[in-house]
């Protein structure tokens, strides 16, 4: 409608060369109505095309086709790249070990930037699913019981041995009392004397 208004303001005349309505139409009077009818028809057509395009995209997405360029780094390559990265291999070296399987760049190595992007997307996806991609950090285990190293009876017995006299521990305690800077010896001396500093 705005284009129709601009054409009318500029004094542009519409001339239809073929069809049942051939002739020149002046943008004033009856020609103005004809311009308006054509503008409305064009707007309806544009809206219809847009709706059908969006509907087609939604149908394709439901089938798993999201359009766009195919991925350079597939799932198998990404799994391999993540495994190499977890072993400590630098990303540029990983990119040299991978080969693109399809598309115009088939047989070539993916760019380092593409590999970084794919690894970052994999980490984000794994984080949202609760999985962990990359080196795992140690988790503190709280295990108690006989032979676990944290058995209360065993710990009491070991503490008693340490505090009641072992020749090596006695020597460490004496070193601390003599002014040694050994932290372990100082802690043992404090424990024997009952100091809790």
pLDDT tens-digit profile, the chain (197 residues): 576 677 777 877 777 788 777 777 766 677 777 777 888 898 999 999 999 999 999 998 888 887 777 788 888 899 999 999 988 899 999 999 999 888 888 889 999 999 999 999 888 888 777 655 555 555 555 555 555 556 667 667 666 665 655 555 566 556 555 665 556 656 666 666 666 55
> Could you tell me which residues come within 8 angstroms of residue 80 by beta carbon, excluding any fewer than 6 positions away?
97, 98
- The Cα 80–Cα 44 span in angstroms is 52
Question: Torsion over CA of 159, 161, 165 and 167, rounded to 10 degrees?
Answer: -110
Q: How far is it, in rounded angstroms, from Cα 156 to Cα 162?
A: 10
Phi, psi of 191 (to 5 degrees): -65, -40
Q: How many whole angstroms separate alpha carbon 72 and alpha carbon 118?
A: 9
Q: 23-25 and 14-16 as β-strands: parallel, antiparallel, unpaired?
A: antiparallel
Q: In angstroms, rounded to a whole number, what is the distance separating the alpha carbons of residues 120 and 64?
A: 22
What residue spans define the domains of the chain? 2-62, 75-129, 152-193
């Amino acid at each position: 409608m705005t284009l129709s208004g601009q054409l009318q303001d500029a004094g542009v005349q519409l001339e239809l060369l073929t069809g049942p309505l051939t002739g020149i139409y002046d943008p004033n009077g009856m020609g103005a109505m004809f311009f308006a009818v054509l503008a409305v028809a064009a707007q309806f057509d544009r809206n219809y095309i847009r709706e059908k395009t969006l509907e087609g995209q939604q149908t394709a997405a439901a089938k798993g086709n999201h359009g766009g360029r195919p991925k350079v780094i597939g799932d198998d390559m990404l799994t391999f790249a993540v495994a190499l990265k977890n072993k400590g291999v630098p990303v540029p070296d990983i990119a040299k070990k991978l080969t693109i399987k399809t598309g115009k760049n088939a047989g070539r190595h993916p760019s380092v930037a593409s590999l970084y992007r794919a690894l970052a997307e994999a980490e984000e996806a794994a984080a949202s699913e609760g999985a962990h991609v990359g080196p795992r950090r140690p988790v503190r285990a709280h295990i108690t019981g006989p032979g676990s190293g944290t058995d209360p009876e065993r710990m009491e017995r070991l503490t008693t041995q340490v505090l009641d006299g072992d020749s090596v521990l006695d020597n460490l305690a004496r070193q601390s009392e003599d002014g040694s800077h050994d932290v372990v010896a100082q802690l043992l001396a404090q424990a024997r004397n009952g100091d809790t500093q």
